[in-house]
């Protein structure tokens, strides 16, 4: 009788631990239907189509990712697209550092699409795979160059503490022009907006592509 009671107690405890693990590490519940069904080019209205054509020329996720919700407000979407164009291809910030700033925001938000789209671009631009891997592990990369360290500290302090200290601003001024500091600030803020759009719309990586961040990871 005692042995049976102990066995039953162990079984119940195991079930409880299993339930707790499933609760803590399970992915967040998703709507049965997407919040914004994925649009295709042939579904776009006359107001949406010009933006859609521009997006398809540059996007690694087609009309997916942030573009899917942006299409619902095509005038705003066009304004944002024009801003993205400057902050991606005309900015005064070197591409390696610009993509690093975007990745920092993507990691803060655990944004599957931002990381999926920009990690390869950052590496192609010259950001080391070690830095990318350490950032993905939610660590301050240990082997950054001076300009990379300033970008990491500047973006992180501004977006988490909502200030830039005098000491950090002085470090930035030694390496970057006024325009570069303004552009760096703006790309960080812009990609917070992108992360918010993605989170609100529950957008994720394209079908069949693995999500960078797994449930239960910090």
Question: How many Å apart are CA 151 and CA 101, to the nearest integer?
Answer: 7
Does residue 67 have a pLDDT over 90? yes
User: What's the number of domains the chain is made of?
Assistant: 1
202 near 31, Cβ under 8 Å?
yes
CATH number at residue 69: 1.20.1290.10
Residues 6 or more apart whose Cβ sits within 8 Å of residue 160:
108
151 near 97, Cβ under 8 Å?
yes
Global confidence as pTM: 0.84
Does residue 23 have a pLDDT over 50? no
Q: How confident is the model at residue 20 (pLDDT cuts 50, 70, 90)?
A: very low
Mean pLDDT throughout 123-133? 98
The distance between the two most distant Cα atoms of the chain, rounded to a whole number of Å, is: 79
Instruction: Tell me which residue range forms the domain holding 166.
Output: 1-218
Q: Strands (DSSP E) along 27-162, which ranges? A: none
Q: How confident is the model at residue 3 (pLDDT cuts 50, 70, 90)?
A: very low
């Amino acid at each position: 009788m005692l042995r049976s009671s102990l066995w039953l107690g162990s079984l119940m405890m195991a079930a409880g631990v299993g339930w707790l693990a499933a609760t803590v590490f399970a992915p967040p519940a998703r709507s049965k239907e997407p919040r914004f069904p994925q649009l295709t080019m042939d579904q776009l209205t006359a107001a949406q189509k010009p933006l859609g054509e521009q997006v398809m020329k540059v996007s690694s996720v087609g009309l997916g990712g942030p573009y899917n919700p942006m299409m619902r407000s095509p005038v705003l979407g066009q304004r944002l697209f024009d801003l993205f164009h400057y902050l991606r291809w005309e900015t005064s910030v070197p591409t390696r550092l610009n993509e690093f700033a975007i990745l920092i925001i993507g990691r803060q938000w655990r944004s599957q699409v931002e990381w999926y789209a920009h990690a390869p671009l950052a590496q192609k631009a010259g950001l080391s795979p070690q830095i990318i891997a350490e950032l993905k592990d939610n660590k301050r990369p240990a082997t950054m160059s001076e300009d990379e360290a300033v970008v990491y500290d500047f973006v992180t302090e501004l977006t988490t503490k909502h200030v830039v200290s005098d000491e950090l601003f002085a470090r930035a001024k030694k390496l970057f022009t006024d325009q570069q500091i303004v552009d760096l600030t703006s790309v960080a803020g812009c990609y917070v907006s992108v992360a918010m759009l993605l989170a609100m719309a529950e957008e994720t990586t394209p079908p069949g592509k693995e999500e960078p961040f797994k449930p239960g990871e910090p």
